[in-house]
Amino acid sequence: MSDKTTAQIPKYRLHKPSARGVVRLSGRDIYLGTHGTAESKERYRQVIAEWLANNRQITAGRELVESTQGLCVAELMPAYLDHSASYYGKNGQPTREQGNIRDAIRSISHLYSKTLVTDFGPSELRSARQGMIDDDLCRNVINSRVNRIRRMFKWGVERELVPPTVLHALQAVTPLKRGRSAARETEPACPVSKMSVDEETMQLAGWRRTRR
């Protein structure tokens, strides 16, 4: 292999959000496994050899297979949390949404951290949701957490870390409906009566007179 050809070969790099090795070929990122490991470097050499043998082209669909191969939920979660820390920050400070996202992700971390993202489907999401019901969370909170979990996978699709088919399957899990699940319901907010409003107005007026 000539020096000119070697110089034109894309380099093995670190993909910081997922801590994996990556190489960009034909305009697409090919993920190679945990950065710095012998396995990922060997995979880099294999991918480069295949790419050169195929006239510097990648097989249709290969880039997505490589990008998600071996990626587990435990790798996706910290990458999304890093994104959330900046996206949902305000004036350099964390917002409540960051805490909500952490709570939602915690709902699946103890069960499915070692599960491949390609194997996380509706059954896993429903199982995590049942755990929330067993923990006596109210229905609205459960639905919000499930939506945040889906949002994490949607972000993964956007970053080419998760196949679109995974997100499509998770979207089939419908929200819990009032009265149609074992989830605890919150008490509906009751309207304030006119008498209560009038009494409060009179008390405020009396307080103002005493202040004069």
* 47 vs 204: which has the higher pLDDT: 47
Q: How many CA atoms lie within 13 A of 80 on its CB side?
A: 27
pLDDT digits (tens, 9 = 90+) for 153-195: 999 998 888 889 999 999 999 999 998 999 999 865 445 444 4
d(CA 91, CA 104) in angstroms, rounded, equals 24
Residue 150 sits in which domain range?
73-170
**What pLDDT was estimated at residue 55?**
83
Higher pLDDT, 21 or 200: 21
Instruction: Look at residue 88 and tell me if it is in a domain.
Output: yes
Among residues 19, 51, 68, the one where a domain terminates is 68
What's the predicted TM-score (pTM) here?
A: 0.62
What's the CATH number where 138 sits? 1.10.150
The verdict on 78 and 59 lying in the same domain is no
Let me know whether 21 and 62 are in one domain: yes
pLDDT surpassing 70 at residue 198: no
In a domain, 109, yes or no: yes
In this structure, the answer to whether residues 20 and 83 fall within a common structural domain is: no
- Residue 41 and residue 60 in one domain: yes
Q: Is residue 49 domain-shared with residue 77, that is, in the same domain? A: no
Question: If you average pLDDT over residues 128-143, what whole number do you get?
Answer: 95
Question: pLDDT by residue (tens digit) across 72-108?
Answer: 898 889 889 988 988 887 777 878 999 999 999 999 9
Residues 58 and 140 in one domain: no
Spatial contact of 21 and 15, defined as CB atoms under 8 Å apart: yes
Residue predicted with more confidence, 143 or 56: 143
Q: Does residue 154 share a domain with residue 99?
A: yes
